[in-house]
Chains A and B, each alone.
Chain A
Amino acid sequence: AQSVTQLGSHVSVSEGALVLLRCNYSSSVPPYLFWYVQYPNQGLQLLLKYTTGATLVKGINGFEAEFKKSETSFHLTKPSAHMSDAAEYFCAVSDQGGGFKTIFGAGTRLFVKA
């Protein structure tokens, strides 16, 4: 069975500091892995996803994530936080060939201090 754990429901960083949002997953088959972002009063939108191939995935707004199979992790990073990055971030997993059944993590709210 799939599951997703996001470590830390809230993360606070200063503007210009490194952003690190942690995600661990479990899946019995090769996974697809996703990060979605939700800004206030909006729906979720895709930041980046891993399907196969290169394990370092680059997304929009300067974010990237690395798939580490041995650690069952897919942590999201950004070298330098911007005020506009303040939002809620969701990690998600689906099984390759599983027909779209996706499990979302509980979300991590990112605060960016001036």
Chain B
Amino acid sequence: DARVTQTPRHKVTEMGQEVTMRCQPILGHNTVFWYRQTMMQGLELLAYFRNRAPLDDSGMPKDRFSAEMPDATLATLKIQPSEPRDSAVYFCASGLAGGPDTDTQYFGPGTRLTVL
């Protein structure tokens, strides 16, 4: 069945290194979200895209984070340089705006990032 996939599932890196997380949304979905989840802050929306164009990235620290959709089947989230406070689980979700299933989000399994 159709699922959102994310790679890598786990990433351990050292402070200052670049981190790239990838997401493959469900085929045909036109809206893609990036979230960060921590114990302290809960689930935070970082950015979301519609038809590959960014709609809202106000939740993302602009100095070190960037999100793109090179094509409809791939979304990326980069952190450069990474810091220990970026340690979290990063989720990608996708959905189809405008149809009967509108506003329902389908989440990937997440990328657990640890920055030492």
A contacts, CB < 8 Å to B: 32, 34, 36, 41-46, 49, 51, 90, 94, 99-102, 104, 106-107
Contact = CB atoms under 8 A, between A and B. Distances in A.
Report the contact-size class of chain B (Cβ under 8 Å from the partner). Answer: 20 to 34
Given A42-B109, A43-B4, A49 B104 contact: yes
Interface stretch (B14-22, B65-73, B79-87, B90-98): B90-98
A102 B102 CA distance: 11
The list of the 8 closest CB pairs from A to B, nearest first, reads: A43-B107, A44-B107, A94-B103, A32-B103, A104-B43, A106-B42, A100-B31, A100-B97
Nearest to A90: B43
Contact of B48 (A34, A41, A42, A100): A100
B43 A99 contact: no
Count chain A CB atoms within 10 A of each CB in B4, B45, B103, B107 and give the residue with the most: B103
A41 B31 CA distance: 24
B108 interface: yes
B97 A99 contact: yes
Contact of A43 (B45, B103, B110): B110
28 contacts: A32-B102, A32-B103, A34-B103, A36-B107, A41-B109, A43-B91, A43-B93, A43-B108, A43-B110, A44-B105, A46-B105, A46-B106, A49-B104, A90-B43, A99-B50, A99-B55, A99-B97, A100-B48, A100-B50, A100-B97, A100-B102, A100-B105, A101-B48, A101-B56, A102-B45, A102-B105, A104-B42, A106-B42
